[in-house]
Amino acid sequence: MATIQSNLQAVNTRIAAACAAFGRDRADVRLVAVSKTWPAEAVREAAAAGQLDFGENYLQEALDKIAALSSLPEKLSWHFIGPLQSNKTRPVAEHFDWVHSVDREKIAERLNAQRPEGAPALNLCIQVNISGEASKSGVEPAALATLARAVARMPRLKLRGLMSVPEPTGDEALSRRRFASLRKLLEELNRDGHALDTLSMGMTTDLEAAVAEGATMVRIGTAIFGQRHQALE
């Protein structure tokens, strides 16, 4: 059976190969290991293999893991990547290093107000709905510039970039067009005066397409930890 360590090695090899194929610098693509539904032990094993960035979708589960692993010698970075309700922002502001899934000003305002004094500003990405389905979370591209301006004014938040979760297509060319549209939105914001450096895009099945289109963070779960058994929404 493949171990987390060998899976991680294989994923890092995929990222390196994609960087080489598409003229990207490997140092510019950060791997976020998505550990949702997996126990703290799995995170511990990945950390022992050198993986330090972890993504979580479910708040209570994540808080339990963060607490269980707080005494690890490695300093882990925790990324909240799931849907965020406004009554659950405080523990996210207190315990995470990054939030990738902000799509409303109200959520950003609460995170800004609740980020503890003395902690560095919370790194934040705005989630954008680039595949245009009514059911998906993420701000509509037309509303992005207004939201980005508002977030950029919040002193306890550091707006880093954009994130997207386009539905899987199985069609590499279509995936690339969607990821390219997120990159173009980031470039437009930077032309308007922002200085954003993060494109959080690409999962197990489409990481190559994302790297080809400029991803600086890929969020990979299944290829590292295995197939999830728990039903997810």
Per CB under 6 A, does 203 bind ligand PLP?
yes
Q: How far apart are CA 7 and CA 226, in angstroms?
A: 9
Binding residues among 35-94 for ligand PLP as defined by CB under 6 A? 36, 57, 81
In whole angstroms, the minimum distance from the beta carbon of 71 to ligand PLP comes to 27
Q: Pick from 165, 186, 199, 215: which binds ligand PLP (CB under 6 A)?
A: 165
Say whether residue 9 binds ligand PLP (CB under 6 A): no
Cα gap 223→3, rounded to integer Å = 11
Please identify which residue in 14, 24, 110, 219 interacts with ligand PLP, judged by CB under 6 A: 219
Q: Which is nearer to ligand PLP, 33 or 157 (CB)?
A: 33
Q: Distance between CA atoms of 118 and 136, rounded to whole angstroms?
A: 35
Cβ proximity to ligand PLP: between 178 and 219 the closer is 219
Kindly indicate which of the ranges 40-48, 169-177, 180-188, 218-226 contains the residues binding ligand PLP, using the contact rule CB under 6 A: 218-226
Pairing mode, strands 30-34 and 217-220: parallel
Cα separation of 109 and 112, whole Å? 5
Q: Note whether 185 and 128 are within 8 A (CB).
A: yes
182 is a contact residue toward ligand PLP (CB under 6 A):
no
The minimum distance between CB 153 and ligand PLP, in angstroms, equals: 26
Which listed residue (33, 34, 84, 182) binds ligand PLP by CB under 6 A?
34
Residue (156 or 162) nearer to ligand PLP, CB: 162
- Which residue's structure tokens are 């929404």? 233
| Pairing outcome for strands 157-163 and 122-127 | parallel
Measured from the CB atom, the residue of 202 and 214 that comes closer to ligand PLP is 202
Q: Is residue 221 part of the contact set for ligand PLP (CB under 6 A)?
A: yes
3 binds ligand PLP (CB under 6 A): no
d(CA 87, CA 35): 23
Residue with the CB atom nearest ligand PLP in the bound state: 221
220 binds ligand PLP (CB under 6 A): yes
Q: Which of 6, 13, 190, 222 binds ligand PLP (CB under 6 A)?
A: 222
- Provide the binding-site residues for ligand PLP, judged by CB under 6 A: 34, 36, 57, 81, 165, 203-204, 219-222
